[in-house]
Amino acid sequence: MKQRLCRFWAALTAALLLAGCGGSASSQEPADSVSSVPPASSVPAQPEAETQAEGSDIQVDVDLTTLSSTMVFAEVSNLLYDPIPYLGKTVRMQGEFSVDHAYTMDGELDLSKNYFYCIIEDALACCAQGLEFSLADAPAYPEGYPEEGSQITVVGTVEFFEENGFRHLRLGNALLF
Amino acid sequence: MSAFQTLQYYFTFPFVRYALIVGVLIALCASLFGVTLVLKRFSFIGDGLSHVAFGALAVAAVFNLTDEMLLVLPVTVIAAILLLRSGQSAKLQGDAAIAVLSVGTLAIGYLLMNLFSTSTNLSGDVCSTLFGSTSILTLTQAEVWLCVVLSVVVIALFVVFYNRIFAVTFDEAFASATGLPASRYSLLIAVVVAVIIVLAMNLVGSLLISALIIFPALSAMRLFKSFRAVTICAAVVSVVCAVAGILISILAGTPVGSTIVAVDLGVFALFALAGAVTGGVQG
Protein backbone atom coordinates (compact mmCIF):
# COMPACT_ATOMS: atom_id res chain seq x y z
CA MET A 1 0.00 0.00 0.00
CA LYS A 2 2.69 2.46 1.10
CA GLN A 3 4.74 1.51 -1.95
CA ARG A 4 1.79 2.40 -4.21
CA LEU A 5 1.32 5.69 -2.38
CA CYS A 6 5.03 6.56 -2.73
CA ARG A 7 4.90 5.73 -6.43
CA PHE A 8 1.87 7.99 -6.88
CA TRP A 9 3.50 10.92 -5.06
CA ALA A 10 6.72 10.46 -7.04
CA ALA A 11 4.73 10.59 -10.29
CA LEU A 12 2.78 13.63 -9.10
CA THR A 13 5.92 15.51 -8.04
CA ALA A 14 7.57 14.78 -11.37
CA ALA A 15 4.49 16.02 -13.23
CA LEU A 16 4.43 19.25 -11.22
CA LEU A 17 8.16 19.83 -11.75
CA LEU A 18 7.78 19.31 -15.49
CA ALA A 19 4.81 21.68 -15.57
CA GLY A 20 6.93 24.25 -13.74
CA CYS A 21 9.62 24.06 -16.43
CA GLY A 22 7.18 25.28 -19.07
CA GLY A 23 6.57 28.56 -17.34
CA SER A 24 7.56 31.81 -18.99
CA ALA A 25 7.64 35.43 -17.96
CA SER A 26 3.90 35.75 -17.70
CA SER A 27 1.39 38.01 -19.34
CA GLN A 28 0.79 39.43 -15.87
CA GLU A 29 4.04 41.29 -15.98
CA PRO A 30 3.45 44.84 -14.89
CA ALA A 31 3.36 47.27 -17.77
CA ASP A 32 5.97 49.58 -16.32
CA SER A 33 7.27 51.05 -13.22
CA VAL A 34 9.14 54.03 -12.06
CA SER A 35 10.80 53.96 -8.83
CA SER A 36 11.78 55.92 -6.17
CA VAL A 37 10.54 58.25 -3.59
CA PRO A 38 11.26 56.64 -0.21
CA PRO A 39 8.24 54.58 0.81
CA ALA A 40 5.83 55.57 3.52
CA SER A 41 4.91 52.71 5.86
CA SER A 42 1.72 51.85 3.99
CA VAL A 43 2.64 53.11 0.55
CA PRO A 44 5.31 50.77 -0.82
CA ALA A 45 7.89 51.96 -3.29
CA GLN A 46 7.86 50.68 -6.86
CA PRO A 47 10.48 48.18 -8.02
CA GLU A 48 12.44 48.70 -11.18
CA ALA A 49 10.90 47.12 -14.25
CA GLU A 50 11.77 46.59 -17.86
CA THR A 51 8.78 47.84 -19.84
CA GLN A 52 7.54 51.42 -20.07
CA ALA A 53 4.03 52.87 -20.40
CA GLU A 54 2.70 56.31 -21.27
CA GLY A 55 4.01 58.96 -18.93
CA SER A 56 6.37 56.45 -17.38
CA ASP A 57 9.24 58.97 -17.35
CA ILE A 58 7.51 60.71 -14.46
CA GLN A 59 8.52 59.52 -11.02
CA VAL A 60 5.59 58.30 -8.95
CA ASP A 61 5.11 56.90 -5.44
CA VAL A 62 2.14 54.66 -6.23
CA ASP A 63 2.00 53.13 -9.69
CA LEU A 64 -1.39 51.46 -10.14
CA THR A 65 -0.54 50.53 -13.73
CA THR A 66 2.00 47.93 -12.55
CA LEU A 67 -0.47 46.08 -10.30
CA SER A 68 -2.81 43.20 -11.12
CA SER A 69 -6.53 44.10 -11.18
CA THR A 70 -7.05 42.50 -7.75
CA MET A 71 -4.20 44.52 -6.27
CA VAL A 72 -5.43 47.71 -7.96
CA PHE A 73 -8.88 47.31 -6.39
CA ALA A 74 -7.38 46.76 -2.93
CA GLU A 75 -4.93 49.66 -3.25
CA VAL A 76 -7.59 52.09 -4.52
CA SER A 77 -9.93 50.96 -1.71
CA ASN A 78 -7.21 51.68 0.82
CA LEU A 79 -6.56 55.05 -0.81
CA LEU A 80 -10.25 55.99 -0.64
CA TYR A 81 -10.99 54.67 2.87
CA ASP A 82 -7.74 55.76 4.52
CA PRO A 83 -6.26 58.56 2.35
CA ILE A 84 -4.06 60.17 5.02
CA PRO A 85 -0.91 58.05 4.32
CA TYR A 86 -1.29 58.85 0.61
CA LEU A 87 -1.60 62.65 0.88
CA GLY A 88 1.07 64.41 -1.18
CA LYS A 89 2.06 61.16 -2.93
CA THR A 90 2.09 60.98 -6.70
CA VAL A 91 -0.10 58.29 -8.24
CA ARG A 92 -0.24 56.89 -11.76
CA MET A 93 -3.50 55.20 -12.76
CA GLN A 94 -5.00 53.79 -15.92
CA GLY A 95 -8.69 53.42 -16.74
CA GLU A 96 -11.72 54.75 -18.50
CA PHE A 97 -12.25 58.50 -18.83
CA SER A 98 -15.52 59.73 -17.36
CA VAL A 99 -17.07 63.17 -16.86
CA ASP A 100 -19.67 64.30 -14.36
CA HIS A 101 -21.38 67.67 -14.56
CA ALA A 102 -22.41 70.00 -11.77
CA TYR A 103 -25.99 71.03 -11.04
CA THR A 104 -27.25 74.45 -10.00
CA MET A 105 -29.25 74.93 -6.82
CA ASP A 106 -32.39 74.74 -9.02
CA GLY A 107 -31.40 71.30 -10.23
CA GLU A 108 -30.36 72.53 -13.68
CA LEU A 109 -27.34 71.06 -15.41
CA ASP A 110 -24.35 73.41 -15.05
CA LEU A 111 -22.06 72.64 -17.98
CA SER A 112 -19.53 75.25 -16.90
CA LYS A 113 -18.41 73.04 -14.02
CA ASN A 114 -17.20 69.52 -14.73
CA TYR A 115 -15.63 66.75 -12.70
CA PHE A 116 -13.24 64.33 -14.38
CA TYR A 117 -12.72 60.73 -13.34
CA CYS A 118 -10.58 57.76 -14.16
CA ILE A 119 -12.72 54.63 -13.71
CA ILE A 120 -10.66 51.59 -12.71
CA GLU A 121 -12.21 48.16 -13.27
CA ASP A 122 -11.72 45.41 -10.68
CA ALA A 123 -11.23 41.66 -10.93
CA LEU A 124 -14.96 40.88 -10.95
CA ALA A 125 -15.86 43.85 -13.14
CA CYS A 126 -18.65 44.64 -10.68
CA CYS A 127 -16.84 46.94 -8.30
CA ALA A 128 -15.25 49.56 -10.52
CA GLN A 129 -13.85 52.49 -8.62
CA GLY A 130 -13.41 56.03 -9.88
CA LEU A 131 -10.82 58.55 -8.80
CA GLU A 132 -11.36 62.22 -9.56
CA PHE A 133 -8.51 64.18 -11.09
CA SER A 134 -7.89 67.84 -11.85
CA LEU A 135 -5.48 68.67 -14.68
CA ALA A 136 -2.59 71.02 -13.96
CA ASP A 137 -3.26 73.28 -16.97
CA ALA A 138 -7.08 73.05 -16.51
CA PRO A 139 -8.00 73.07 -20.24
CA ALA A 140 -11.52 73.86 -21.38
CA TYR A 141 -13.95 70.96 -21.69
CA PRO A 142 -14.50 69.20 -24.07
CA GLU A 143 -11.64 70.51 -26.28
CA GLY A 144 -8.78 69.63 -23.97
CA TYR A 145 -10.03 66.17 -23.02
CA PRO A 146 -10.42 62.78 -24.70
CA GLU A 147 -13.78 61.24 -25.55
CA GLU A 148 -15.74 59.77 -22.67
CA GLY A 149 -15.08 56.07 -22.32
CA SER A 150 -11.59 56.17 -23.84
CA GLN A 151 -8.62 54.67 -22.01
CA ILE A 152 -6.44 57.21 -20.22
CA THR A 153 -3.38 57.29 -18.00
CA VAL A 154 -3.31 59.96 -15.30
CA VAL A 155 -0.42 61.03 -13.08
CA GLY A 156 -1.30 63.34 -10.20
CA THR A 157 -0.81 64.15 -6.55
CA VAL A 158 -3.26 62.96 -3.88
CA GLU A 159 -4.91 65.97 -2.25
CA PHE A 160 -8.03 67.10 -0.46
CA PHE A 161 -10.14 69.98 -1.74
CA GLU A 162 -13.20 71.64 -0.26
CA GLU A 163 -16.41 72.42 -2.09
CA ASN A 164 -19.72 73.53 -0.59
CA GLY A 165 -18.37 72.76 2.87
CA PHE A 166 -17.49 69.14 2.00
CA ARG A 167 -14.02 67.71 1.77
CA HIS A 168 -13.25 65.61 -1.31
CA LEU A 169 -10.29 63.56 -2.46
CA ARG A 170 -8.71 63.83 -5.91
CA LEU A 171 -5.48 63.67 -7.84
CA GLY A 172 -4.50 67.31 -8.22
CA ASN A 173 -1.97 68.95 -10.52
CA ALA A 174 -2.54 66.02 -12.84
CA LEU A 175 -1.15 65.14 -16.26
CA LEU A 176 -3.22 63.23 -18.79
CA PHE A 177 -1.77 60.75 -21.31
CA MET B 1 9.75 41.38 -13.66
CA SER B 2 9.43 37.68 -12.74
CA ALA B 3 6.46 36.32 -10.81
CA PHE B 4 8.73 35.96 -7.76
CA GLN B 5 9.84 39.60 -7.97
CA THR B 6 6.24 40.71 -8.44
CA LEU B 7 5.24 38.73 -5.35
CA GLN B 8 8.13 40.20 -3.41
CA TYR B 9 6.91 43.66 -4.39
CA TYR B 10 3.28 42.83 -3.50
CA PHE B 11 4.41 41.66 -0.05
CA THR B 12 5.53 45.20 0.70
CA PHE B 13 1.83 46.17 0.78
CA PRO B 14 0.46 45.77 4.33
CA PHE B 15 -2.94 44.56 3.07
CA VAL B 16 -1.34 41.59 1.31
CA ARG B 17 0.36 40.53 4.56
CA TYR B 18 -2.91 40.98 6.46
CA ALA B 19 -4.74 38.88 3.86
CA LEU B 20 -2.26 36.02 4.19
CA ILE B 21 -2.39 36.03 8.00
CA VAL B 22 -6.18 36.10 8.10
CA GLY B 23 -6.48 33.64 5.21
CA VAL B 24 -4.26 31.06 6.91
CA LEU B 25 -6.11 31.39 10.24
CA ILE B 26 -9.58 31.14 8.72
CA ALA B 27 -8.60 28.20 6.53
CA LEU B 28 -7.13 26.41 9.56
CA CYS B 29 -10.23 26.98 11.72
CA ALA B 30 -12.63 26.02 8.93
CA SER B 31 -10.79 22.79 8.16
CA LEU B 32 -10.57 21.66 11.81
CA PHE B 33 -14.31 21.88 12.36
CA GLY B 34 -15.06 20.98 8.74
CA VAL B 35 -14.08 17.36 9.44
CA THR B 36 -16.60 17.19 12.28
CA LEU B 37 -19.35 18.80 10.22
CA VAL B 38 -18.82 16.49 7.25
CA LEU B 39 -18.81 13.41 9.48
CA LYS B 40 -21.96 14.59 11.28
CA ARG B 41 -23.60 15.13 7.87
CA PHE B 42 -23.93 18.83 8.59
CA SER B 43 -22.02 19.92 5.50
CA PHE B 44 -24.62 22.48 4.54
CA ILE B 45 -24.90 24.15 7.94
CA GLY B 46 -22.10 26.47 6.82
CA ASP B 47 -24.10 27.51 3.79
CA GLY B 48 -27.21 28.24 5.86
CA LEU B 49 -25.31 30.22 8.47
CA SER B 50 -23.39 32.20 5.89
CA HIS B 51 -26.67 33.34 4.35
CA VAL B 52 -27.86 34.37 7.81
CA ALA B 53 -24.64 36.37 8.17
CA PHE B 54 -25.35 37.98 4.78
CA GLY B 55 -28.84 38.98 5.97
CA ALA B 56 -27.39 40.42 9.19
CA LEU B 57 -24.77 42.29 7.18
CA ALA B 58 -27.52 43.82 5.05
CA VAL B 59 -29.35 44.98 8.19
CA ALA B 60 -26.08 46.43 9.54
CA ALA B 61 -25.58 48.28 6.26
CA VAL B 62 -29.14 49.65 6.31
CA PHE B 63 -28.62 50.97 9.85
CA ASN B 64 -25.18 52.33 8.90
CA LEU B 65 -23.46 50.48 11.72
CA THR B 66 -19.79 51.37 11.85
CA ASP B 67 -18.82 47.95 13.20
CA GLU B 68 -20.95 45.36 11.37
CA MET B 69 -19.40 42.54 13.38
CA LEU B 70 -21.34 43.65 16.49
CA LEU B 71 -24.57 42.62 14.78
CA VAL B 72 -23.44 39.89 12.39
CA LEU B 73 -21.64 37.72 14.94
CA PRO B 74 -24.42 37.48 17.59
CA VAL B 75 -27.14 36.96 14.96
CA THR B 76 -25.18 34.14 13.30
CA VAL B 77 -24.45 32.48 16.65
CA ILE B 78 -28.16 32.64 17.60
CA ALA B 79 -29.11 31.19 14.21
CA ALA B 80 -26.61 28.36 14.74
CA ILE B 81 -28.19 27.53 18.11
CA LEU B 82 -31.73 27.73 16.68
CA LEU B 83 -30.72 25.55 13.76
CA LEU B 84 -29.36 22.92 16.09
CA ARG B 85 -32.53 22.99 18.20
CA SER B 86 -34.86 22.83 15.24
CA GLY B 87 -32.70 20.08 13.79
CA GLN B 88 -33.57 17.99 16.82
CA SER B 89 -37.30 18.69 16.65
CA ALA B 90 -39.54 16.33 14.72
CA LYS B 91 -41.61 19.07 13.10
CA LEU B 92 -38.82 20.62 11.04
CA GLN B 93 -35.98 18.32 10.04
CA GLY B 94 -32.38 19.58 10.03
CA ASP B 95 -31.98 19.88 6.27
CA ALA B 96 -35.36 21.60 5.87
CA ALA B 97 -34.54 24.06 8.65
CA ILE B 98 -31.20 24.89 6.99
CA ALA B 99 -32.93 25.36 3.62
CA VAL B 100 -35.59 27.65 5.09
CA LEU B 101 -33.04 29.76 6.96
CA SER B 102 -30.61 29.79 4.04
CA VAL B 103 -32.90 31.08 1.30
CA GLY B 104 -35.06 33.14 3.64
CA THR B 105 -32.24 35.25 5.04
CA LEU B 106 -30.53 35.57 1.65
CA ALA B 107 -33.74 36.94 0.12
CA ILE B 108 -34.49 39.26 3.03
CA GLY B 109 -30.91 40.52 3.06
CA TYR B 110 -30.93 41.37 -0.64
CA LEU B 111 -34.39 42.91 -0.36
CA LEU B 112 -33.30 45.16 2.51
CA MET B 113 -30.14 46.20 0.68
CA ASN B 114 -32.20 47.12 -2.37
CA LEU B 115 -34.87 49.01 -0.49
CA PHE B 116 -32.83 50.88 2.09
CA SER B 117 -29.16 50.81 1.13
CA THR B 118 -27.47 54.19 0.95
CA SER B 119 -24.54 52.78 -1.03
CA THR B 120 -23.91 54.09 -4.51
CA ASN B 121 -22.59 50.73 -5.66
CA LEU B 122 -25.22 48.19 -4.56
CA SER B 123 -24.29 45.51 -7.08
CA GLY B 124 -20.65 45.87 -6.05
CA ASP B 125 -21.49 45.52 -2.36
CA VAL B 126 -23.68 42.46 -2.93
CA CYS B 127 -21.17 40.90 -5.30
CA SER B 128 -18.33 41.45 -2.87
CA THR B 129 -20.28 40.05 0.08
CA LEU B 130 -21.53 37.00 -1.78
CA PHE B 131 -18.33 36.09 -3.60
CA GLY B 132 -15.69 37.79 -1.45
CA SER B 133 -14.11 39.29 -4.55
CA THR B 134 -11.45 41.26 -2.72
CA SER B 135 -12.74 41.75 0.85
CA ILE B 136 -9.75 39.90 2.27
CA LEU B 137 -7.45 42.52 0.70
CA THR B 138 -9.25 45.47 2.25
CA LEU B 139 -9.07 44.50 5.93
CA THR B 140 -8.21 47.06 8.56
CA GLN B 141 -5.68 46.38 11.29
CA ALA B 142 -8.51 46.13 13.87
CA GLU B 143 -10.28 43.48 11.76
CA VAL B 144 -7.06 41.50 11.49
CA TRP B 145 -6.63 41.53 15.28
CA LEU B 146 -10.25 40.48 15.83
CA CYS B 147 -9.72 37.61 13.41
CA VAL B 148 -6.49 36.57 15.15
CA VAL B 149 -8.13 36.56 18.59
CA LEU B 150 -11.23 34.64 17.43
CA SER B 151 -9.11 32.14 15.50
CA VAL B 152 -6.88 31.49 18.51
CA VAL B 153 -10.01 30.88 20.64
CA VAL B 154 -11.44 28.49 18.01
CA ILE B 155 -8.18 26.52 17.69
CA ALA B 156 -7.77 26.38 21.49
CA LEU B 157 -11.32 25.06 21.89
CA PHE B 158 -10.64 22.36 19.29
CA VAL B 159 -7.40 21.27 20.97
CA VAL B 160 -8.81 21.31 24.51
CA PHE B 161 -12.04 19.48 23.63
CA TYR B 162 -10.53 17.26 20.93
CA ASN B 163 -11.52 13.94 22.59
CA ARG B 164 -15.06 15.11 23.35
CA ILE B 165 -15.58 16.51 19.88
CA PHE B 166 -14.31 13.18 18.52
CA ALA B 167 -16.84 11.28 20.69
CA VAL B 168 -19.76 13.56 19.79
CA THR B 169 -18.84 13.49 16.10
CA PHE B 170 -18.97 9.73 15.71
CA ASP B 171 -21.79 8.69 18.05
CA GLU B 172 -23.70 11.34 19.92
CA ALA B 173 -26.06 8.80 21.50
CA PHE B 174 -23.19 6.67 22.77
CA ALA B 175 -21.40 9.77 24.06
CA SER B 176 -24.55 10.74 25.98
CA ALA B 177 -24.88 7.20 27.36
CA THR B 178 -21.34 7.40 28.75
CA GLY B 179 -22.29 10.54 30.69
CA LEU B 180 -20.87 13.13 28.30
CA PRO B 181 -23.11 16.21 27.93
CA ALA B 182 -23.27 15.62 24.17
CA SER B 183 -25.92 18.24 23.43
CA ARG B 184 -23.73 20.91 25.06
CA TYR B 185 -20.78 19.90 22.92
CA SER B 186 -22.97 19.92 19.82
CA LEU B 187 -24.01 23.42 20.80
CA LEU B 188 -20.36 24.40 21.25
CA ILE B 189 -19.60 23.07 17.77
CA ALA B 190 -22.51 25.07 16.32
CA VAL B 191 -21.39 28.29 18.02
CA VAL B 192 -17.77 27.84 16.91
CA VAL B 193 -18.91 27.11 13.36
CA ALA B 194 -20.94 30.34 13.41
CA VAL B 195 -17.82 32.28 14.41
CA ILE B 196 -15.84 30.61 11.61
CA ILE B 197 -18.57 31.45 9.09
CA VAL B 198 -18.51 35.13 10.02
CA LEU B 199 -14.73 35.21 9.75
CA ALA B 200 -14.71 33.29 6.48
CA MET B 201 -17.13 35.70 4.81
CA ASN B 202 -14.16 38.03 4.42
CA LEU B 203 -12.11 35.37 2.72
CA VAL B 204 -14.41 33.71 0.20
CA GLY B 205 -17.76 35.47 0.55
CA SER B 206 -20.94 33.95 1.89
CA LEU B 207 -21.82 31.79 -1.12
CA LEU B 208 -18.48 29.98 -1.18
CA ILE B 209 -17.93 29.33 2.53
CA SER B 210 -19.17 25.73 2.36
CA ALA B 211 -16.28 24.93 0.05
CA LEU B 212 -13.77 26.10 2.65
CA ILE B 213 -15.38 23.82 5.25
CA ILE B 214 -16.09 20.77 3.10
CA PHE B 215 -13.33 20.44 0.48
CA PRO B 216 -10.28 20.04 2.78
CA ALA B 217 -12.10 17.43 4.89
CA LEU B 218 -13.32 15.52 1.84
CA SER B 219 -9.87 15.67 0.22
CA ALA B 220 -8.23 14.27 3.37
CA MET B 221 -10.86 11.53 3.58
CA ARG B 222 -9.90 10.29 0.12
CA LEU B 223 -6.47 9.31 1.48
CA PHE B 224 -6.73 8.85 5.22
CA LYS B 225 -9.12 6.92 7.41
CA SER B 226 -8.44 7.90 11.04
CA PHE B 227 -10.00 11.03 12.57
CA ARG B 228 -6.63 12.41 13.64
CA ALA B 229 -4.95 11.85 10.25
CA VAL B 230 -7.93 13.31 8.39
CA THR B 231 -7.96 16.37 10.67
CA ILE B 232 -4.22 17.03 10.27
CA CYS B 233 -4.31 16.47 6.52
CA ALA B 234 -7.40 18.68 6.12
CA ALA B 235 -5.70 21.47 8.07
CA VAL B 236 -2.57 21.29 5.88
CA VAL B 237 -4.58 21.09 2.64
CA SER B 238 -6.81 23.99 3.68
CA VAL B 239 -3.92 26.30 4.62
CA VAL B 240 -1.91 25.45 1.49
CA CYS B 241 -4.96 26.01 -0.75
CA ALA B 242 -5.80 29.33 0.94
CA VAL B 243 -2.22 30.63 0.57
CA ALA B 244 -1.97 29.38 -3.02
CA GLY B 245 -5.38 30.87 -3.86
CA ILE B 246 -4.50 34.28 -2.43
CA LEU B 247 -1.12 34.38 -4.18
CA ILE B 248 -2.58 33.27 -7.52
CA SER B 249 -5.38 35.81 -7.29
CA ILE B 250 -3.08 38.76 -6.58
CA LEU B 251 -0.66 37.67 -9.30
CA ALA B 252 -3.23 36.84 -11.96
CA GLY B 253 -5.77 39.49 -10.98
CA THR B 254 -8.57 36.97 -10.34
CA PRO B 255 -11.25 37.20 -7.61
CA VAL B 256 -9.79 35.89 -4.33
CA GLY B 257 -12.73 33.80 -3.08
CA SER B 258 -13.39 31.83 -6.23
CA THR B 259 -9.66 31.32 -6.84
CA ILE B 260 -9.24 29.73 -3.39
CA VAL B 261 -12.25 27.48 -4.00
CA ALA B 262 -10.92 26.53 -7.46
CA VAL B 263 -7.59 25.51 -5.88
CA ASP B 264 -9.50 23.52 -3.24
CA LEU B 265 -11.44 21.79 -6.01
CA GLY B 266 -8.24 20.97 -7.91
CA VAL B 267 -6.63 19.50 -4.79
CA PHE B 268 -9.77 17.49 -4.11
CA ALA B 269 -9.56 16.03 -7.61
CA LEU B 270 -5.88 15.15 -7.03
CA PHE B 271 -6.64 13.50 -3.70
CA ALA B 272 -9.58 11.61 -5.17
CA LEU B 273 -7.24 10.31 -7.88
CA ALA B 274 -4.61 9.44 -5.30
CA GLY B 275 -7.23 7.69 -3.18
CA ALA B 276 -8.44 5.70 -6.16
CA VAL B 277 -4.88 4.67 -7.08
CA THR B 278 -3.69 3.80 -3.59
CA GLY B 279 -6.97 2.71 -2.02
CA GLY B 280 -6.34 5.10 0.87
CA VAL B 281 -3.93 4.98 3.80
CA GLN B 282 -4.86 3.28 7.04
CA GLY B 283 -3.41 5.95 9.26
B90-138, pLDDT tens digit by residue?
566 667 777 888 888 888 888 888 887 666 666 666 776 777 655 788 8
The whole-number pLDDT of residue B87 equals 55
Query: Does A24 have pLDDT greater than 80?
Result: no
User: Coil, helix or strand for B112?
Assistant: helix
> Between B144 and A57, whose confidence is greater?
B144
Of the listed ranges A83-97, A142-156, B97-111, B129-143, the one predicted with least confidence: B129-143
- A117 shares contact with chain B (CB less than 8 Å): no
Is residue A1 predicted with pLDDT exceeding 80?
A: no
Taking residues A68-97, report their average pLDDT: 86
What's the CA dihedral at B146, B152, B156, B157 to 10 degrees?
30
Search chain A and give the residue with CA nearest B283: A2
Q: Do B134 and A77 touch (CB under 8 A)?
A: yes
pLDDT band at B229 (very low <50, low <70, confident <90, very high): very high
> Could you tell me if A128 lies within 8 Å of chain B, comparing CB atoms?
yes
pLDDT at B235: 94
Beta bridge partners of A171: A133, A158
Contacts 24+ apart (CB under 8 A), A172-176: A172/A133, A172/A134, A173/A134, A173/A136, A174/A133, A174/A134, A174/A135, A174/A136, A175/A55, A175/A58, A175/A135, A175/A136, A176/A133, A176/A135, A176/A145, A176/A146, A176/A152
CB pairs under 8 A between A and B: 112
- What is the rounded average pLDDT of the residues B260-265? 93
Looking at residue B263, its pLDDT comes to 95
Answer yes or no: is pLDDT of B75 > 80: yes
Q: Best-predicted range by mean pLDDT among A117-126, A146-155, B35-44, B201-210?
A: A146-155
Position A41 confidence tier, pLDDT thresholds 50, 70, 90 = very low
What residues of chain A lie within 8 A of the CB of B128, using their CB?
124, 126-127
Instruction: Say which residues have a Cβ less than 8 Å from residue B175's Cβ, sequence separation at least 6.
Output: B164, B167, B168, B182, B185
pLDDT of amino acid A122? 63
DSSP A44: P
pLDDT of res. B116: 79
Instruction: For an interface test with B, give the residue of A71, A77, A79, A80 to mutate (most B CBs within 10 A).
Output: A71
